[in-house]
Amino acid sequence: MRRKITVVGAGNVGGTLAQRLAERNYADLVLIDVVEGLPQGKALDLLQAGPVVGYDCNIVGSNHYEDTAKSDIVIITSGVARKPGMTRDDLLYTNMEIIKSVTQNIVKFSPNCMIIMVSNPLDAMAQLAFHVSHFPKNRVMGMAGVLDTARFRTFLAQEAKVSVTDTYSFVLGGHGDTMVPLPRYSTVAGVPIPELFPKETIERLVQRTRDGGAEIVKHLKTGSAFYAPSAAVAQMVDALVYDQKKILPCAAYLEGEYGINGFYVGVPAKLGKNGVEEVVEFKLSKEETAALKKSADSVKELVELMLTKMK
């Protein structure tokens, strides 16, 4: 039986992700959205690309969750972007209601699936999906660290004037201003970057990574990133589908790892056919530990606001 993957949200991220997954040709796809005609049109367009590109998976666009039934993996990209004048709490409360409803429908029709959260504020929304779904922690995860790490690697490669394939890095923590790039564990051709660049250069690259999404929004003016986010999700889906046991930085539920308990925070995790199969713990310095705790506290604040609102 072919695998079935649902992408919730047919906007730029969801639509581009559907294209990337279709071209992998390892699962049938459902693209779902509340906007009538949007997922249907994009699904039909993707189907018609199949004969040219060479994939033959079935792709369905729908406004009804019944069509998502028995999905193996569900990726949630729905929600609103932060608009001018909208506070962080406004964004949290608005997307909270959307993600709550989406998760309830996912559980109803695909009770055995794995969930990958992409909607923002990402770590809090992953926590919400975990809370609402009552799924085991290994089956709910969030995409953030893969994207943030890709941005850091891009900037490292540009600075060193080398191929991005020669760079390696990890970015931990919440997806936002408090994320924690790890220069000590970041390398160019195997050489740690503190041995290659002065401190000022590393700090500049770290800050650019933290501002990676905002930099793109500044250029686009009316939208946000979608090529890199969709590529990051696809890499996570590959690890699940192919049981790669690949260590990727993603939002995972922690129960004491890194001194954090009861929250979703970005950490290195081994992804395979069972979802998050292991949280990989690196030895952090005092400064790195403090930065990760600060990031986790920021996530905790959002989660507490959200849970209070839900009562």
Which residue numbers in the chain have pLDDT < 70?
82-89
Is the alpha carbon torsion for 125, 128, 134, 136 positive or negative?
A: positive
**How many CA within 13 A on the CB side of residue 259?**
15
Q: Given this model, what pLDDT does residue 80 score?
A: 83
Q: Which of 64, 131, 134, 175 is catalytic?
A: 175
127 neighbors 264 (Cβ within 8 angstroms): yes
| Amino acid at the residue 93 | Y
What's the rounded Cα separation, in Å, for the pair 85 and 125? 21
Residue 176's pLDDT is: 81
Dihedral, CA atoms, 190, 192, 196, 201, nearest 10 degrees? Answer: 130
Contacts of 242 (CB under 8 A, 6+ apart): none
Delimit the CATH 3.40.50.720 region(s) of the chain: 3-142
Cross-strand bridge partners of residue 254 = 263
Residues 93/309, Cβ–Cβ less than 8 Å: yes
In the residue annotation, 219 being an active-site residue is answered as no
CATH classification (class only), 145-310: alpha beta
Question: Domain spanning 3-142 has what CATH number?
Answer: 3.40.50.720
Question: SS3 of 165, please?
Answer: helix
Residue of 283, 304, 70, 86 lying closest to 172 (CA atoms): 283
Convert the pLDDT of each residue in 63-121 to its tens digit.
999 999 999 999 999 988 766 566 666 778 889 999 999 999 999 999 999 999 999 89
Rounded to two decimals, the pTM is 0.96
Helices (H) and strands (E) in the chain, counts: 9, 14
CB 74 within 8 A of CB 106: yes
Alpha helices per DSSP H over 34-161 = 38-53, 88-109, 122-133, 145-160
Question: Which residues of the chain does CATH 3.90.110.10 include?
Answer: 145-310
What pLDDT is recorded for position 91? 78
